[in-house]
Amino acid sequence: DAKTTQPNSMESNEEEPVHLPCNHSTISGTDYIHWYRQLPSQGPEYVIHGLTSNVNNRMASLAIAEDRKSSTLILHRATLRDAAVYYCILRRNSGGSNYKLTFGKGTLLTVNP
Amino acid sequence: DTAVSQTPKYLVTQMGNDKSIKCEQNLGHDTMYWYKQDSKKFLKIMFSYNNKELIINETVPNRFSPKSPDKAHLNLHINSLELGDSAVYFCASTPSGGATDTQYFGPGTRLTVL
């Protein structure tokens, strides 16, 4: 899997937007960009994924650079419950099954009240 | 209803013992996984099964033996436990393992080897 680079930690205030960056300069044309997060003492949970176009869902938005070498996860209004480690992961669509998730170190997001 | 469940939640045991962790998913998924999260919080895949067949084995010691009696269950048996096996083990499932599939994780089993 291609490598991703994320800041180790970020801080935000409650009810403010948060932009979590991810660099993936070696991304290939068939790599999907996935974001997962892990709340304290819980298993990881899916947040969002995209290929080329920006994506929105009830949890977040994903902004993908035109050259796809970077992406940004946007939490529109951070809440205390959003405090977690956020992982940016590339998954290659090369046929076959059982695509594993290769987790990096992620970004620890702290949300201040 | 819990989508992916694991038992037990906590497991404390002595070095050298044999123990099992159970995982069940009620999502009708074909693919299941075991991940290990060590004390430094790195999450690494250990095994993947698709329709009860082993697909991925990430150079895990053969003291670890996954068993899938049916599509909904993937158990992890560990022989001769070592101190380094202390970690949180997560089970996950996904519809088919495709690049756009979402993986659903269980709550984790914290294994402590004394």
Report the alpha-carbon distance of residue B114 to residue B102 in Å, rounded: 35
Question: Shortest Cα distance from B85 to chain A (angstroms)?
Answer: 18
Mutate to test the interface with B, among A6, A99, A103, A107 (most CBs of B within 10 A): A99
| Contact: B106, A43; criterion CB under 8 Å | yes
- Which residues in chain A touch residue B50, judged by CB atoms under 8 angstroms apart? 97-98
- Per the DSSP assignment, residues forming a β-bridge with B11 are B111
Residues contacting residue B30 through CB under 8 Å, at least 6 positions apart: A97, B50, B51, B71, B95, B96, B97
Phi, psi torsion values for A43, nearest 5 degrees: -80, 160
Task: State pLDDT tens for residues B44-99.
Answer: 999 998 888 888 888 889 999 999 999 999 999 999 999 999 999 999 999 887 87
- What does the pLDDT profile of chain A (113 residues) look like in tens digits? 568 999 999 999 999 999 999 999 999 888 999 999 999 999 999 999 999 999 999 999 999 999 999 999 999 999 999 999 999 999 887 655 567 788 889 999 999 99
Question: Shortest Cα distance from B3 to chain A (angstroms)?
Answer: 12
Mutate to test the interface with A, among B100, B104, B109 (most CBs of A within 10 A): B100
